[in-house]
Amino acid sequence: MIIEANVDGGVRIRMQILITGAAGLVGNHVVRLLAQKNTIHALDLHGSNSVDERVNWITFDLAEPFDHSRLPGHIDAVIHLAQSNYFRQFPERAQDIFNVNVQSTVRLLEFARRAGARSFVVASTGGLYAERTGKSVETDPLEARDFYFASKYAAELLANQFREYFRVIVLRFFFVYGPGQKGMLISNLMEKIDRGERIAIDGDPGLHINPIFVEDAAAAFEPALSLDDSAVINIAGDEVVSVTELVRLIGESVGKQPRIEHRTETPSGCLVGDNSRMKTRLGVQPRMTLRQGLKRMADAYLSSPTTRHGP
């Protein structure tokens, strides 16, 4: 922590913050937000071309043994956003999933303890909740439905064992989306609709979810670092939609009529996060409506020179 004098005679506290997965969708926004007031040590598998003097970019593979000499000797907070790029490739890439999602979490927790950190933020997932008929609150039981979810659950459990050394804040994200996203639910649906591919939905109208725009999700991190105790907090949007409704909204955003088929007629449940704690504990109110967020995402997608459109 560095205390600086302001021109008006006041003081400003500048924290040293280590962020993993810093070049990812959420990480990029978090780095930009926190670098305004803090010094950022940004870890990412591929590094960055950024020349911002407030950000120390470190090319770092969390799946490999830690080289502590490349990390700062002192840190005020750690934000652990990174996850394995191979999270869908089980069992072939089980070792990488474990190394990045679980083993690196333990290594970072021990690094944070030795480096004098006061806060450790773990990015987890709302997918750990079981599907239900209503909203999931932070005290609801969790379930690990596959190897990936088991790795995220393990990371939460292990992080919570360090609460006597620093504040542990677990943020469970629900369907974050935004411009530049690839390989996730909303970005995959956008690509398929744009290419004219058929969208197969389990149930009618399909699972109900409440996505959150990336800028609103990123806004949770600064107040999370200011919490005076450990916490678990859902990070989710206000608008609840079925997958069928979501597909139609995405179709509007890209200007194409989606081709929908329902695999079954059975109504699906909900994977909807109660975001009351996000609002009361963090003071974060989602600002972007789903329609506005999808339009911004679609505009970026359609204007990208690498985008290939369907008929």
Q: 52: Cβ–Cβ under 8 A, 6 or more apart, which residues?
A: 35
Annotated domain spans of the chain: 2-173+214-236+270-287
Tokens, residue 153: 């659950």
CATH of domain 2-173+214-236+270-287: 3.40.50.720
Position 311 pLDDT exceeds 50: no
Separation between Cα atoms, residue 199 and residue 193, nearest integer Å? 7
The DSSP 8-state label assigned to residue 93 in this structure reads T
pLDDT computed for residue 305 by the predictor: 74
- What confidence category does residue 307 fall into, taking pLDDT thresholds of 50, 70 and 90? low
Tens digit of pLDDT for each residue in 51-100?
677 899 999 999 998 888 899 999 999 999 999 999 999 999 999 999 99
CA distances from 143 to 151, 230, 275 (A): 11, 22, 20
pTM of this prediction? Answer: 0.93
Separation between Cα atoms, residue 208 and residue 251, nearest integer Å? 18
Separation between Cα atoms, residue 238 and residue 292, nearest integer Å? 13
Separation between Cα atoms, residue 19 and residue 303, nearest integer Å? 30
Instruction: Using alpha carbons, select from 237, 234, 238 the residue that is nearest to residue 282.
Output: 234
